[in-house]
Structure 1
Amino acid sequence: MIPMIRAASLRGFVPLVEGLGGDADGLLARFGLTRQGLESDEDLIPITANDLVLDSAADELGCPDFGLRLAEAQDLSILGPLAVVIESSSTVAEALAVASTYMFVHSPALSVAVEADPRRGRGVVALTYRKDVHESPYSPQAIELGLGLFYRVSVMLVGSRAGLRSIEIPHRPLSPVSRYTGFFGADVAFGRPTAALRVERRLLDEQFATADEAIRRLAVEYLAGHYPDPARKLSTQVRRALAGSLGTAPPAIAGVARLLSVHPRTLQRKLAAEGASFASILDEVRRDAAHRHLTTSDLPLGQVAALVGFTEQSTLSHAVRRWYGSSPRELRRTARRTTPSK
């Protein structure tokens, strides 16, 4: 299954593009999206399409801070029911814990966490924001949007910037550094391993004025009852195991079963109970990986075939035609016509 994200992630995209003189409908259409499809926050869209349309808009409109501008137009409410739990939490630590647990409601490809400070500062921790690049390619604009919103929500809940040490961004600056420091009100470091807000550890104990234990308890019960964690499904575990080993080890059911500590026949039986099969999951993982490599890289087709676990380039060609109705080269050419070069 292609990783998705709630349509709320692009809230404000259309007016921002049109305000910059761009064709929002045309941009969305290139990636299989529509204005109408963004009207309901709860609808799901492919996260790769979400991210590519952000990168394309920034490139074509000559607006390198597009992600930061969109972050300025959004707020905590884009997280839907998860926002209620976060806002009613008693402390920063409690809010981050629930956000970490239920971020899959917004998108299973995204995660937030509290981690050790990468610079080993005394009394400092890193509030990290990650996207699983096994699921979808890295997007500079999407990372800046997510990190910018993460920062704005944090300031809104805590009430000030006090305690923020610096911002960590994995890619090079897209805009003048002054744009970043003006947005975040702190030093910004680029080329870092993980997107993060470095903050004083004491901030984790900050109390929220919006705390309400009764509302929080009801909201958590609602999330638990209506949004089962996909990570607990065996089919998700199999998918992640295959995505992580594809191209490095033969995609055999025996190997995955051994990794998950179950017998192959038990694995097949439990997958069938979830309406899936090892073969169908492997086909989906190969399809998504092939599409990612073909549309976001210039790797030779033989290498792409190897990366998705095929021994022959011809096998890749047959599979891509079955999946997308075109040859690998045609799929790549189409992507190059619709995606700006970096």
Structure 2
Amino acid sequence: MTQTVPLIRAANVLPLIRWIEVNRLDADRYLERADLGYWFALSPFDPIPTHNGIAMLRELSRDHGPGVAAEIVNQASIAELGFIGRVALGARSPLEALHRLNAAMPMHSSHEILRLIVTDERITIHHAFAFSLDPESLHAVHVLLIAMLHQLFGFTGLRAPLFEQVDMVPHPDLGLSHLPPLFSDRLRPAEGAALTITMAANVAMNPFRVIARDRLANGNITGIAPLAEDRSLAASVRSVIAAMLHGGEPTIARIAGAGNISPRSLQRRLAEEGTSYSRQLDIVRRDLAMKHAADEGVSLADLSERLGYWVQSALTRAVRRLTGRTPSQLADRQGG
């Protein structure tokens, strides 16, 4: 059991949404099924619960086949592959891109582990999560990751098979039998929950035929805070509350679901940190009220909606309780 709610960047859902829309499916339906109905209100760098993002990928795999993640990646450009895609842009070779992805992982995800082993002859990639996932979900994620790496390595002009060996979690019903046409015949069932890919060193060092414009200032990502910078449960809960508030006040059950724990366990663990869910909800609302009250473009109706209140009278009472001022008084003070 993790100590905090696992988080990823909202941008990582974008390729899933694009695939859904291109295929004329109902994006809102899939977002609601994964409890991500607020996603369209977020910025690409906003955090969302990792479990919810994976749940959306799993639902797509159930409805459209366990190889759908490869279709999603093949349809997208590198720039559309979320935060990780943006980091890879501008690299001169797959190996350089892998080193950049390794350095960027804490900014991309709070509970993912990427490890590179580089020798003169071969390179090994290990990917794992710092929490447990069911085999069906892990398989969907592994298909997505392998497809992303295939697309990245494909920019060298080399033809498949690009990897010497791929150890991945099999689908619980289909195993790996549905995947060789998509990747290669070098797949093996992983003994654990990690994805392991081995390739010849010269494959990873082969230069890209075209160097893309670097979207992150030559790989400089130091200005982006790691998602697990504050390792308290309360901090991760606040991140989820802030996102979910776009759709109204979230229940403690939804927050607990985002962490894959029970509401009772969430309450107990917050109490061990000397706080509570209601206290964290108040902190998020207070901070948002202070942030937005001075923005001339934000009306009381907008502020009420952002803080998850359906009527403005509830907003006024809450802001007075949290800050000691009405929204109008707070805006006057901030503006002055």
TM-score, with length taken from structure 2: 0.58
Distance 1:199 1:26, change over 3 A: same
Partner of 2:201: 201
Compute the displacement of 1:23 (Å). 4.2
Compute the displacement of 1:195 (Å). 0.8
Compute the displacement of 1:180 (Å). 0.9
Compute the displacement of 1:127 (Å). 1.8
Would the aligned equivalents of 2:5 and 2:259 in 1 still touch at CA under 8 Å?
no
Partner of 2:125: 127
Q: 1:228 aligns with which of 220, 225, 228?
A: 225
Would the aligned equivalents of 1:129 and 1:147 in 2 still touch at CA under 8 Å?
no
Would the aligned equivalents of 1:54 and 1:67 in 2 still touch at CA under 8 Å?
yes
Partner of 2:99: 97
- In structure 2, the residue corresponding to 1:144 is in which secondary structure? helix
Alignment-mate amino acid for residue 209 of structure 2: A
Partner of 2:165: 166
Higher relative contact order (CA 8 A, sep 6+): 2
Compute the displacement of 1:207 (Å). 2.2
Hey, what's the Cα distance between the residues in 1 that align with 2:20 and 2:85?
Answer: 26
Range with bigger deviation, 66-75 or 155-164? 155-164
Hey, what's the Cα distance between the residues in 2 that align with 1:216 and 1:17?
Answer: 26
Would the aligned equivalents of 2:169 and 2:190 in 1 still touch at CA under 8 Å?
yes
Compute the displacement of 1:230 (Å). 5.0
1:9 aligns with 2:6: no
Would the aligned equivalents of 2:153 and 2:204 in 1 still touch at CA under 8 Å?
no
Would the aligned equivalents of 2:12 and 2:82 in 1 still touch at CA under 8 Å?
no
Compute the displacement of 1:153 (Å). 1.7
Distance 1:170 1:101, change over 3 A: same
| Count of residue pairs brought into register by the alignment | 254
Q: 1:55 aligns with which of 54, 58, 66?
A: 58
Distance 1:289 1:54, change over 3 A: closer
Compute the displacement of 1:89 (Å). 2.4
- In structure 1, the residue corresponding to 2:225 is in which secondary structure? coil
1:64 aligns with 2:50: no
Hey, what's the Cα distance between the residues in 2 that align with 1:178 and 1:115?
Answer: 28
Compute the displacement of 1:198 (Å). 1.8
Alignment-mate amino acid for residue 292 of structure 1: N
1:203-250: per-residue Cα shift (whole Å, max 9, x none)?
2332233348x95993323x22x213456x4x33x66xxxxxxxxxxx
- In structure 1, the residue corresponding to 2:164 is in which secondary structure? strand
Range with bigger deviation, 154-163 or 99-108? 154-163
Partner of 2:210: 210
Hey, what's the Cα distance between the residues in 1 that align with 2:64 and 2:161?
Answer: 33
1:37 aligns with 2:34: no
1:87 aligns with 2:89: yes
Q: Percent of aligned positions with the same letter in both sequences? A: 15
Partner of 1:46: 49
Would the aligned equivalents of 2:114 and 2:125 in 1 still touch at CA under 8 Å?
yes
Q: Which runs of 5+ in 1 are unaligned?
A: 240-283, 296-303, 325-342
Hey, what's the Cα distance between the residues in 1 that align with 2:214 and 2:180?
Answer: 36
1:76 aligns with 2:91: no
Partner of 1:113: 115
Hey, what's the Cα distance between the residues in 1 that align with 2:216 and 2:68?
Answer: 37
Would the aligned equivalents of 2:47 and 2:227 in 1 still touch at CA under 8 Å?
no
Alignment-mate amino acid for residue 115 of structure 1: I
Distance 1:38 1:65, change over 3 A: farther
Alignment-mate amino acid for residue 28 of structure 1: L
Hey, what's the Cα distance between the residues in 2 that align with 1:218 and 1:323?
Answer: 36
1:126-173: per-residue Cα shift (whole Å, max 9, x none)?
222222216x77723233222321222222346433542122112346
Alignment-mate amino acid for residue 127 of structure 1: I
Partner of 2:149: 150
Hey, what's the Cα distance between the residues in 1 that align with 2:25 and 2:52?
Answer: 18
Hey, what's the Cα distance between the residues in 2 that align with 1:291 and 1:173?
Answer: 24
Hey, what's the Cα distance between the residues in 2 that align with 1:163 and 1:58?
Answer: 25
Hey, what's the Cα distance between the residues in 2 that align with 1:48 and 1:102?
Answer: 20
Q: Which runs of 5+ in 2 are unaligned?
A: 234-251, 282-336
Hey, what's the Cα distance between the residues in 1 that align with 2:86 and 2:24?
Answer: 35
Partner of 1:187: 186
Alignment-mate amino acid for residue 30 of structure 2: L
* Root-mean-square deviation over aligned CA pairs: 4.5
Hey, what's the Cα distance between the residues in 1 that align with 2:18 and 2:87?
Answer: 29
Hey, what's the Cα distance between the residues in 2 that align with 1:15 and 1:215?
Answer: 23
Higher helix proportion: 1
Would the aligned equivalents of 2:10 and 2:43 in 1 still touch at CA under 8 Å?
yes
Alignment-mate amino acid for residue 129 of structure 2: K
Would the aligned equivalents of 2:180 and 2:187 in 1 still touch at CA under 8 Å?
yes
